[in-house]
């Protein structure tokens, strides 16, 4: 229950962030080509999706493995 409350608190009270790497910021400040900052920020967000997906997949794989092990121990205890 404590972890749920902490997770809910962190999800509800987050601050929006508009960070850019130094290279992107320099490119936008010196560019006369008319690159929109929103497009650069969207690209950064798109690139950040993949590390989170990898962590989620590893977490799901660990969850499935532990669930199978728990079922095996329950079956062994029941027989």
Distance from C-alpha of 11 to C-alpha of 48, rounded to nearest angstrom: 18
End-to-end CA distance of the chain: 33
pLDDT block averages, 10 residues each, the chain of length 79: 82 69 72 70 84 95 96 85
Whether this model's pTM surpasses 0.75: no
Contacts of 24 (CB under 8 A, 6+ apart): 40, 44
């Amino acid at each position: 229950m404590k972890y749920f409350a902490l997770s809910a608190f962190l999800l509800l009270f987050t601050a929006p962030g508009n960070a850019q790497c130094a290279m992107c910021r320099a490119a936008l400040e010196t560019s006369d080509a008319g690159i929109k900052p929103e497009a650069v920020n969207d690209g950064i967000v798109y690139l950040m999706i993949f590390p989170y997906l990898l962590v989620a997949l590893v977490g799901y794989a660990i969850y499935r493995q532990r669930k199978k092990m728990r079922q095996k121990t329950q079956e062994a205890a029941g027989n």
